[in-house]
């Protein structure tokens, strides 16, 4: 009989310990979520010193898009092209605790039908930083920038298998044009084309 009382008391202590442990874990999870959402995230224009981090994000995107060896641009090329007058591109970065967690890479185009157009080349968030609203904040910054410039359109492309991105853009009010195909000549295509017209 005494053994049963001891077992019951031990089980009761284990149950209370388990509940305390779960409560501590829940509090810690809540702390992490709050820290994530109320962090001192800063969205700003990239500086020349950010180009190493920007290149890392470009490489991360290339791996995600199943083209890990396609990136040819270098830090020096980004510095030269982005920080001369006029710059070939603009870039916004998302920074938290002095770490760049995402970026939006943009440049101007011109539509013969509409006029000035802003092109969003890449919007990339580090894998470990996704789900914190960083993509929304970067896209917000791009749209505000385009509005300030008076552009008639902001355009970008998305891979047809990246349903998460497609859904994200649609939720933001973007229209995905299913009846258009992207057409391009890569560097070798340009050289081959030139060789045929000379």
Residue 3 vs residue 120, higher pLDDT = 120
Phi then psi for residue 132, to 5 deg, are: -110, 5
The whole-number pLDDT of residue 90 equals: 98
Distance CA(92)–CA(104), nearest Å, equals 5
Kind plus residue range of the DSSP H or E element containing 155: strand 153-155
Contact 114, 152 (CB under 8 A): yes
- Active-site residues, by number, are 169
The secondary structure of 65-127 as a DSSP string is TT-TT-----HHHHHHHHSSSS-S-EEEEEEETTEEEEEEEEEEEEETTTEEEEEEEEEEE-G
- Average pLDDT on 156-162 reads 93
Radius of gyration (C-alpha) of the chain in whole angstroms: 25
Contact 150, 116 (CB under 8 A): yes
For the entire predicted model, the pTM comes to 0.78
Residue 55 vs residue 181, higher pLDDT = 55
User: CB neighbours of 146 closer than 8 A, spacing ≥ 6?
Assistant: 118, 154
Is the predicted pLDDT of residue 142 greater than 60, yes or no? yes
């Amino acid at each position: 009989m005494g053994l049963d009382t001891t077992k019951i008391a031990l089980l009761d202590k284990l149950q209370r310990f388990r509940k305390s442990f779960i409560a501590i874990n829940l509090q810690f999870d809540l702390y992490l979520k709050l820290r994530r959402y109320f962090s001192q995230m800063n969205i700003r224009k990239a500086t020349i010193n950010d180009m190493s981090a920007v290149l890392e994000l470009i490489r991360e995107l290339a791996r995600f898009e199943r083209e890990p060896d396609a990136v040819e641009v270098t830090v020096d090329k980004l510095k030269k092209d982005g920080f001369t007058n006029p710059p070939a591109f603009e870039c916004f970065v998302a920074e938290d605790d002095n770490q760049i967690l995402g970026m939006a890479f943009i440049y101007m185009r011109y539509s013969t039908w509409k006029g000035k157009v802003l092109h969003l080349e890449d919007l990339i968030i580090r894998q470990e930083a996704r789900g914190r609203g960083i993509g929304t904040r970067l896209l917000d910054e791009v749209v505000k920038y385009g509005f300030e410039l008076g552009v008639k359109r902001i355009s970008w492309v998305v891979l047809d298998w990246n349903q998460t991105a497609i859904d994200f853009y649609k939720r933001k009010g973007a229209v995905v044009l299913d009846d258009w195909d992207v057409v391009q000549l890569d560097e070798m295509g340009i050289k081959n084309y030139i060789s045929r017209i000379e």
